[in-house]
Every structure is written in C-alpha cells, then in structure tokens.
C-alpha cells in the first residue's frame, strides 16, 4: 500500500522560508497527483497546491506569490517551499496524493510548523 513520509523544519521565525519534503513509498511516483494541504490551529483544511503527472503545477491563488512546489521523479519525492512566513502560516502541513487529481487517496502524517519570533 502506497504511503507517504514527510519531514521538514518545525519552528521558523517570521520572514523565513518553510521547507517540507514528502517521499513516496511502496508505490509509483509517476502517474499520481501530489498536493500539499494545511490546517491552521482550530481551523479547517486549506489546499496549497498540486503537481500533476505531467509536471504541471497549480497553486492556491491566496498563496501563489510565496509558494513553490517541485517534484523529483528519480527520488520519488515532492517538496513545498513557502517564503516570507508569518504567524498566520502556523499550521499542520500535510502532503497528499491521489490517482485522479480530484481528491486525496493518500495522506502523510502531517508536520506541525510553528512561526514565532
């Protein structure tokens, strides 16, 4: 069964860059859609962006100016970078994947990222 393992820095200062990576195990990287979703404390889920099997990347318009998603087929990994973070970016960040691109079949365990001075 395909599963995802994610890692990255959990504590950042304002204006720093958030960096997370997600590795795909027991399954193929190509042919799936890979996404990042976050959940601020006490709030709902928010889609950050996606990289599709063709390598096309889409972002949530509200984050587009600060976010970058990339994929490495050879390493079976995809990554998230979010620059100029503020306290509002404090959240649990999930990597996610799916077969169709319309919903999530596979979820990472989540990484709590806290932005604090």
List residues binding another protein (CB under 8 A).
Answer: 35, 37, 43-47, 49-50, 58-61, 94, 102-105, 107-110
Strand arrangement, sheet containing 18-25: 3-8, 18-25, 77-82, 67-72
Q: How far is the CB of 70 from another protein (least distance, A)?
A: 17
Q: Which is nearer to another protein, 13 or 43 (CB)?
A: 43
Burial of 61 (0-12, 13-18, 19+ CB in 10 A): exposed
Q: Which is nearer to another protein, 45 or 87 (CB)?
A: 45
Q: Which is nearer to another protein, 50 or 89 (CB)?
A: 50
Instruction: List CB contacts of 49: < 8 A, sequence separation 6 or more.
Output: 35, 36, 57, 58, 59, 60, 63, 67, 69, 80
Q: How far is the CB of 107 from another protein (least distance, A)?
A: 4
Q: How far is the CB of 40 from another protein (least distance, A)?
A: 11
Q: How far is the CB of 74 from another protein (least distance, A)?
A: 26
């Amino acid at each position: 069964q395909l599963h995802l393992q994610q890692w990255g820095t959990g504590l950042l200062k304002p204006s720093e860059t958030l960096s997370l990576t997600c590795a795909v195990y027991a399954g193929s990287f190509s042919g799936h859609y890979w996404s990042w979703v976050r959940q601020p404390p006490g709030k709902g889920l928010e889609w950050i962006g996606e990289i599709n099997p063709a390598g096309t990347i889409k972002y949530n318009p509200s984050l587009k100016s600060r976010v970058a998603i990339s994929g490495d087929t050879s390493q079976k990994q995809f990554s998230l970078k979010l620059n100029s973070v503020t306290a509002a970016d404090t959240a649990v960040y999930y990597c996610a994947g799916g077969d169709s691109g319309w919903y999530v079949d596979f979820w990472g365990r989540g990484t709590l990222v806290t932005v604090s001075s």
